[in-house]
Structure 1
Amino acid sequence: MKIFAHRGYTKKGDAENTLEAFESAVAEKMCIELDVRLTKDGVPIVFHDASLKRMTNNNLKLADINYGELKDIKMKTGEAIPSLKETLELVNGRTLLLIELKTAKKGFTNHRLEKAVIEILKDYSGEYMLQAFNYFTVKYCKRKLKRIKTGRLSSNHYGSGYCGDFVNYKLKHLDGKKVEKFRKKGIEVYGWTGDDGNTGKSLEKAVLLGLDGIIL
């Protein structure tokens, strides 16, 4: 079972989704889950929220800032906000990456983020997987990157429709029946914990369910 550090390994005090947190994850021999958004000028940045408010002392939205301006903004704990390119250069194939594309959860997208991410990934030789909540994002990425595992995120339910090679379900809502349903379709099953539950119990449940991976 693959174990992913959620937005990097932050238990040493590093801010989430930073090069420091990713280096710590590599040192802990963990896979890495991370999030990607676009700046105003179309540069893929590793950052979870649409707004900078929670992680920095700035209230702007990432989509309203050019990459050059963003380089001058630091996390509250002092780290820089990395680009996807910088992150790939740091990891350099040392561990598996699970990259979430932060498109709208529902509805059509213009595939601007997807195209920018795929363009950067074409030169990356390390192992990675792609995921998103959005059906159209998953479908687009799988069509463009046929050999790359691509999957769909879900919180507490999963309707009909395409989910690619795997589904990544919120762990507290996963049970044996759901896992079996996807297994019969040849779909891998992952679980994510968010901020709830303790690590030990989450790992125990993931093992009992026979998950392919867990994001802690």
Structure 2
Amino acid sequence: MRFLKLFKSPSLIAAHRGFSHFNPENTLKALEFSVGRCDFIEIDVQLSRDKKAVIFHDQTLRRTTNIDKDFKVYELSYKELSKLDYGSWFDGIYEPMLDLKTALGFSKKHKMPLNIELKDTSEFCSDAEFVFIVLSLIESFEMQEEILLSSFRHEYLAIIKEMQPNISTAILVEDALPKNPIEYLVALDAKAYNISDELADAKTVKSLRESDIFVNVYTINDEKRAKELFFMGVNAIFSDKLIK
């Protein structure tokens, strides 16, 4: 699991959606900007109506495309999504849709590890099918060792380990850690917690790190807070703008 070797180095910075402070998020332009400025890139994946894996964060398309209706990503086909503009809302410059296949090809070419967050698609697609689609693309590029898969929907993580045990996984949490966080992580065979800044206190980080669990914190855009977290022992931060 070569991705996990990254966490042996201190003070890692992940480009959150490709440093979204500087670029339209989750676009190829954002990935290109991130190369040489971070240790790995975080992106989000979900499915089009015809079940193509696309890179997009929000549940609906209104905020970051030129569509003025609250269509959900899975309500449009891959072809329809491909016709939308993903950049002009940010800087007035057209950017095409980024799909997972393109992102993986970019990652492999530039030797840039990816943390891919699996968005919750359960109201549209079965858990097993979504995981299979994502894993199939990763395997087609032979990139199982360069990828970290994370999700707030922890059911995905269990299925990932059933289908592809060699892929590294991280549990995403926002409001509260599980009651027994170490046992919970072990049960899912995950190696890391990606936690919100609100959960990152010295006691929590110390407990997890003493159990050889990697701790990564989102979303940190303040240099002072970043230094505090690294001093606590946090392995990586996800940032929109703090570059290496």
Work out the CA distance in 2 between the residues paired with 1:205 and 1:104.
Answer: 35
**In the alignment, which residue of structure 2 is the partner of 1:134?**
153
Q: Does 1:201 align with 2:224?
A: yes
Q: Deviations over 1:27-82 (max 9, x none)?
A: 42441000000001110100001110000121221111111111111125111111
Superposition TM-score, scaled by structure 2 size: 0.79
Gaps of 5+ in 2: 1-10, 89-93, 240-244
* Alignment root-mean-square deviation, CA: 2.0
| Structure 1 counterpart of 2:201, from 160, 172, 175 | 175
In the other structure, the counterpart of 2:113 is: 96
- Match of 2:105, SS state, is helix
Structure with the bigger percentage of helix:
2
Residue ranges of structure 1 left out of the alignment (5+ in a row): none
Q: Deviations over 1:1-40 (max 9, x none)?
A: 321000002343x200000000100142441000000001
Residues 1:23 and 2:32 are matched in the alignment: yes
Give the deviation of 1:173 after TM superposition: 2.2
TM-score, normalised via structure 1 length: 0.89
The answer to which structure, 1 or 2, has the higher relative contact order (CA under 8 A, 6+ apart) is 2
What displacement does 1:91 show? 2.2
Q: Indicate which of 47, 53, 64 corresponds to 1:55.
A: 64
Among candidates 75, 78, 81, match of residue 67 of structure 1? 78
Please say if residues 60 and 72 of structure 2, whose CA atoms lie closer than 8 Å, have aligned partners that are also in contact.
yes
CA separation of 1:87/1:104 partners in 2, compared to 1, >3 Å: closer, same or farther?
closer
Percent of aligned positions with the same letter in both sequences? Answer: 28
Report the CA distance between 1:198 and its aligned residue. 3.6
Distance 1:113 1:100 in 2: 12
Which whole-Å deviations, capped at 9, do the CAs of 1:111-153 have from their partners, x for residues lacking one?
2221110010002244110000112111111222222210100
Distance change >3 Å, CA 91–CA 134, structure 1 → 2: same
Using the TM superposition, give the Cα deviation of residue 209 of structure 1 relative to its aligned residue in structure 2, in angstroms: 1.3
SS, match of residue 9 in structure 1: coil
